């Protein structure tokens, strides 16, 4: 189950610089998402929206276009210049974030979120492919974990900065200010990041041929281990949304905490918890996977399963230590991402890497973000006549059942992975 790491390329100073630039782009990618989360209550009051509509804005309005367009963009990134694709996308989604400030109703804001989704679909698949060319396979989980830190930097900026701007200047000004710096970063990224040779850090003989779309479909269809863990991660995101996307609304609405305080505390604690939840499991997975690649799946399954008890402790307590419990929940909500991406980038051929990341994001965003937010919002509306403002608590708790499905799919994938590899269906790099 183990494979030798390529020794022809090592992560030098420039590779570290590229990784840090990718982290910065990722931070802007996620900042506007969490800016929307911390301003949901204000937007809902201003535009008179239901929780179902807020769930659509936080999930489906963004995720649907993000994932569909992302498949085509990823196919482009598997053959085109990834640096150029990312710089164009960053400029576009930053402009669309600023345009959210002018929305006067649900449809206008949803249209702006569609535009943000189009732009942001250029980011992660291209970044994953670039990282695979700059870092050896036995260091990629760690490199991907560093890249994933952009999510929690963006969380901190979106929650803390967005909460403060919303409290002092309103949600419209918060979106306008959030969109402008990305335009500058897009120029810097384009001028300073080089497009590497594909396969730079892989062992000789790695599958580098071009695949038609039909061949791609058959390639992935015949790998149940891949399909199972991709779906499993989507269900982990489905459950993780209970805290990540609705935690701020829960604290403001149910516990009556001020939005600026919630943004500041969730921004700082969420960022720190995310860093710990990403880096520690990734380092462990990289070390253990030298002996058995299935450790990437087992580490993800353990973290994804622990979302349930940690989130329930956050949701059902007497109102004390809320932020500490949130901190613990964010740790386990981050553990599954880097190992899953690292495993995928090791298993799939060079010219399917961006597309494979887009497929993972399809599961993340359709099952997880879109499905999780829509279900949470709809359940909250449906339960309001019974539980009043506390309906959001019970809606969030019900979505945690997704992690049970995720653990089961990870277990099935680990069972199938050995068979796929030894039968020649999956080629590790």
Measured N-to-C along each axis, helices 40-47 and 106-120 cross at an angle, to the nearest 10 degrees, of 140
Q: What does the alpha-carbon distance between residue 329 and residue 326 come to, in Å, rounded to a whole number? A: 5
Assigned fold of 13-199+215-422: Growth Hormone; Chain: A; (1.20.1250)
Closest CA to 140 of 128, 153, 151: 128
User: Rounded distance, CA 5 to CA 202, Å?
Assistant: 8
Place of tokens 């300073």: 192
Q: What is the pLDDT of residue 204?
A: 44
Structure-derived torsion over alpha carbons of residues 237, 240, 243, 244, reported in degrees to the nearest 10 = -40
Residue 170 sits at the vertex; the CA angle it makes with 169 and 173, to the nearest 5 degrees, is 75
CA distance between the termini of the chain: 12
Evaluate whether 160 touches 272 at the Cβ level (below 8 Å).
Answer: no
Say if residues 275 and 156 touch (Cβ distance below 8 Å): no
- Coil/strand/helix, residue 197: coil
Cβ-Cβ contacts under 8 Å for 408 (sequence gap 6 or more):
232
Digitized pLDDT (tens) for each residue of the chain, 429 residues in all:
333 333 434 457 888 999 999 999 999 998 988 898 889 889 999 999 988 888 888 777 777 787 788 778 877 887 889 999 999 999 999 999 999 999 999 999 999 988 998 898 898 888 988 988 888 776 777 788 788 888 888 988 988 898 899 989 999 999 999 999 999 999 999 999 999 876 555 444 444 455 565 666 677 777 888 889 989 999 999 998 788 888 888 998 999 998 888 888 988 888 898 889 888 888 888 888 888 888 999 999 999 999 999 999 999 988 789 999 999 999 998 888 888 877 877 776 666 666 777 777 778 878 888 788 889 989 999 999 999 999 999 999 999 999 999 999 999 999 988 787 665 444 444
CA-closest candidate to residue 243, choices 317, 314, 155 = 314
CA dist 196 and 323 (Å) reads: 43
Q: Nearest-CA neighbor of 96 among 187, 167, 189, 33?
A: 33
Q: Residues with Cβ < 8 Å from 239, sequence gap 6 or more?
A: 304, 307, 308, 311, 372, 399, 400, 401, 402, 403, 406
> Helices (DSSP H) in 224-370: which residue ranges?
224-244, 247-253, 259-288, 295-305, 307-315, 322-332, 337-347, 353-362
Q: Which of 328, 330, 339 is nearest to 299 (CA)?
A: 339
The answer to whether 2 and 293 have CB atoms below 8 angstroms apart is yes
What's the CA gap between 367 and 33, in Å, rounded? 17
Integer Cα distance of 380 and 269 in angstroms: 26
Give the relative orientation of helices 140-156 and 337-347 as an angle to the nearest 10 degrees.
140
3-state secondary structure of 408: helix
Nearest alpha-carbon partner for 255 in 168, 314, 311: 314
Instruction: DSSP letter for 381, please.
Output: H
* Whole-number average pLDDT of the chain: 84
Structure tokens at 16: 């570290």
**Six token digits for residue 349:** 């051929």
Instruction: Return phi, psi of residue 275, to 5°.
Output: -60, -50
Token duo for residue 35: 């800016």
- The DSSP letter of residue 173 is H
Residue with tokens 């609405």: 253
Say if residues 334 and 148 touch (Cβ distance below 8 Å): yes
């Amino acid at each position: 189950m183990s494979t030798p790491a390529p020794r022809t390329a090592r992560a030098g100073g420039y590779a570290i610089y590229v990784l840090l630039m990718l982290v910065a782009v990722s931070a802007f990618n996620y900042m506007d998402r969490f800016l929307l989360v911390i301003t949901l209550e204000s937007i809902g009051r201003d535009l008179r929206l239901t929780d179902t509509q807020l769930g659509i804005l936080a999930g489906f309005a963004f995720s649907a276009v993000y994932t569909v367009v992302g498949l085509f963009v990823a196919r482009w990134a598997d053959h085109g210049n990834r640096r150029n694709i990312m710089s164009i996308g960053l400029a576009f989604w930053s402009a669309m974030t600023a345009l959210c400030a002018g929305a006067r109703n649900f449809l206008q804001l949803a249209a702006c979120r569609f535009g943000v989704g189009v732009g942001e679909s250029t980011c992660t698949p291209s970044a994953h492919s670039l990282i695979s060319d700059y870092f050896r396979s036995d260091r990629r989980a760690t490199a991907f974990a560093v890249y994933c830190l952009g999510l929690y930097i963006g969380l901190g900026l979106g929650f803390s900065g967005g909460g403060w701007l919303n409290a002092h200047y309103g949600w419209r000004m918060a979106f306008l200010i959030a969109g402008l710096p990305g335009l500058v970063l897009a120029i810097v990224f384009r001028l300073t990041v080089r497009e590497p040779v594909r396969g730079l850090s892989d062992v000789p003989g790695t599958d580098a041929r071009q695949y038609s779309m039909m061949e791609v479909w058959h390639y992935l269809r015949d790998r149940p281990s891949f399909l199972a863990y991709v779906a499993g991660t989507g269900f982990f995101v489905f459950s993780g949304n209970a805290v990540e996307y609705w935690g701020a609304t829960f604290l403001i609405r149910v516990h009556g905490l001020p939005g600026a305080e919630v943004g500041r505390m969730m921004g700082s604690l969420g960022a720190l918890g995310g860093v710990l939840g990403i880096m520690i499991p990734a380092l462990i997975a990289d070390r253990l996977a030298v002996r058995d690649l299935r450790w990437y799946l087992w580490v993800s399954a353990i973290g994804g399963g622990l979302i349930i008890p940690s989130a329930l402790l956050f949701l059902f307590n007497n109102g004390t230590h809320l932020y500490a419990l949130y901190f613990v929940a964010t740790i386990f909500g981050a553990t599954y991402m880097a190992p899953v991406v690292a495993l995928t980038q090791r298993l799939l051929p060079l010219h399917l890497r961006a597309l494979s990341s887009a497929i993972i994001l399809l599961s993340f965003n359709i099952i997880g973000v879109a499905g999780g937010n829509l279900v949470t919002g709809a359940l909250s509306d449906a339960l309001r006549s019974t539980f009043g403002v506390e309906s959001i608590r019970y809606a969030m708790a019900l979505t945690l059942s997704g992690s049970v499905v995720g653990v089961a799919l990870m277990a099935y994938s680990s069972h199938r992975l050995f068979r796929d590899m030894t039968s020649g269906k999956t080629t590790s790099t």
